[in-house]
Amino acid sequence: MYSIGDLSRRTGVKIPTIRYYEQMGLIAAPERSEGNQRRYEKRQFERLAFIRHARDLGLSIEAIRELLALSEHSERPCGEADRIASEHLASVREKIARLTKLEQELERIVACHGDHTIGDCYVIRALADHSLCDSEH
């Protein structure tokens, strides 16, 4: 059995977040000790570690909820879990593509290296006039 503090330390999930996950139904409400302290079992620890890892990978609460439900049925095919992960991967790739465009545009507009006055600063001009940008971002 783990106290909420032990669970937090072992998983790296903050105590308010553990309580939030309980309220959201992602982890079951734990038993209480005679002193009314939450007492978590190994299964709840493992579930919280699963949630933490999924959040670290950027999965949404809803996707995690679906994956947790799927994990309860080890005999089922994993197509649905693959779909959820694949959709998330596509979303991550879209974000990376947008960030790459932003990086390229920022590299381009800072190329003057501050050798000019603000009146001649390309950064200021480019921010004021979007048509000076090479691409949409």
Q: What b-and-e string marks burial along 46-68, b requiring 16 or more CB atoms within 10 Å of the CB?
A: ebbebbbebeeeebeeebbbbbb
Q: Which residues pair with 40 in a beta bridge?
A: 2
C-alpha atoms less than 13 angstroms from C-alpha of 51 in its C-beta half-sphere: 27
pLDDT (tens digit per residue) in 25-41 = 999 888 888 888 889 99
The more confident residue out of 125 and 3 is: 3
C-alpha atoms less than 13 angstroms from C-alpha of 69 in its C-beta half-sphere: 9
Which residue has tokens 């947790």?
68
Examine the pLDDT at 128 and tell me if it is beyond 90.
no
CATH number of 1-75: 1.10.1660.10
Per-domain boundaries in the chain: 1-75
Contact 76, 70 (CB under 8 A): yes
Of 5-9, 13-17, 66-70, 117-121, the poorest mean pLDDT is in 117-121
pLDDT (tens digit per residue) in 112-124 = 766 778 877 888 8
